Structure 1
Amino acid sequence: MKDTLHSLDTSQKDIVLERVITRSPGVMFDILSFLEVPLRPDPDPDRLHWCVCGNCREMNTDRERKCCRQHPQQCISKMAYMDFYILDEGVLRLARAAWNDIFALVDNAEPGMEQRQFRHTAYRQFVLWQHGRLGVGNRVVIPSCCVCRIRDTFPDPRGQYTGFKVSRLV
């Protein structure tokens, strides 16, 4: 594979990268995390030092301070796919029903729970969209810009969010 990759010209490499982004955008997070992002010569003091896309917000832990590392116009949280796969209530209801059916669960009908269930399902949908099936106990941190977009769409009435939980299985 390495020899094939090295034999490609620049335009062919661009085509390969575009296909990788289309088929598995989560791989690009991994690739870009190995690259250093150059500091802008005129840094904005209001901007978070760890954010490249400009859509992230401060998070509670260092682990959650993760950016999609895209240019502002290409931020994952602003993609149309995010609206279709992650934030659409119909898609989330169907995904939640499938999850409940597989695991023989019943949704909690308490007031205010629907927004929480939408958020939880949206996080799960995001991970599936970006990383595929991870398996039991495997967890990934969702970029702050995407977490905030989900929270803005399905807010907690008290503004209290759990945040990223490390796997209980070791």
Structure 2
Amino acid sequence: MQDSRMDNLAWCDCNHCTAMPTVDECLCCKEVGPVAEKMEDEDLDCITDHEGFTGNCLNRHVIEVSLYDFVERQGPIDDNEPIHELYRYVAYIRFSRWIWHILGKKRRKVIPTCAVLKIREAFPSEDFTGFKYARP
């Protein structure tokens, strides 16, 4: 039954999702408790319509400053690294921080499909890497 998530969009209640490559990634914002709570506070249909999402995850200037923080903590990045891929990665980090606050090292959560799609639209590239669980 779970596999059917990749075959249809019946699981999406915000009308901003699309089928993703894995079942885990087929997740609507309304299915994630802390995300749904943020939306209820603002009476929104989708987390991507939230002012906090736009400011935290799509604003290039905010993402740029967060990238500097990321580089300071993680070390230098390859000069050939595509900037949109880095911005997208930082946007995912910012989304997780905004919703779940502090997850801790090697703890990851799946970001709702609608949010992933909006971030990918803002910071496009040829290839996208789907959600990956942290290595033990």
Normalising by the smaller structure, the TM-score range is 0.7 to 0.9
Query: How many angstroms does 1:78 deviate by?
Result: 1.5
Partner Cα separation in structure 1 for residue 47 and residue 12 of structure 2: 13
Give the TM-score normalised by the residue count of structure 1: 0.65
Matched, 1:102 2:68: no
Structure 2 equivalent of residue 151 of structure 1: 120
Counterpart selection for 2:52 from 81, 98, 103: 81
Structure 1 equivalent of residue 5 of structure 2: none
Partner Cα separation in structure 2 for residue 151 and residue 82 of structure 1: 14
Conservation of the 8 A alpha-carbon contact between 2:29 and 2:47: yes
For each residue in 1:147-168, what CA deviation from the matched residue of structure 2 results, as whole angstroms up to 9, or x when unmatched?
Answer: 0000001011x2x211000121
Structure 2 equivalent of residue 90 of structure 1: 61
Pairwise CA RMSD? 1.8
Aligned residues: 119
Please, which moves more after superposition, 115-124 or 88-97? 88-97
For each residue in 1:64-90, what CA deviation from the matched residue of structure 2 results, as whole angstroms up to 9, or x when unmatched?
Answer: 010011689431011111111111111
Written as runs of structure 1 = structure 2, the 5 A alignment for 1:15-54 is 48-54=9-15
Structure 1 equivalent of residue 135 of structure 2: 168
Conservation of the 8 A alpha-carbon contact between 2:44 and 2:50: no
Partner Cα separation in structure 1 for residue 83 and residue 69 of structure 2: 16
Partner Cα separation in structure 1 for residue 77 and residue 134 of structure 2: 23
Task: Provide the secondary structure at the position in 2 that maps to 1:151.
Answer: helix
Task: Provide the secondary structure at the position in 1 that maps to 2:29.
Answer: coil
Indicate the percent of aligned positions where both proteins have the same amino acid. 30
In structure 2, the gaps of 5 or more residues are: 1-7, 31-35
Q: State which structure, 1 or 2, has the greater radius of gyration over its C-alpha atoms.
A: 1
For each residue in 1:113-158, what CA deviation from the matched residue of structure 2 results, as whole angstroms up to 9, or x when unmatched?
Answer: 10000000000000000001101111100000000000001011x2
Partner Cα separation in structure 2 for residue 140 and residue 126 of structure 1: 10
Superposition misfits of 4+ residues, deviation over 3 angstroms: 70-73
Task: Provide the secondary structure at the position in 2 that maps to 1:92.
Answer: helix
Matched, 1:58 2:19: yes
Give the TM-score normalised by the residue count of structure 2: 0.81
Structure 2 equivalent of residue 122 of structure 1: 91
In structure 1, the gaps of 5 or more residues are: 1-46
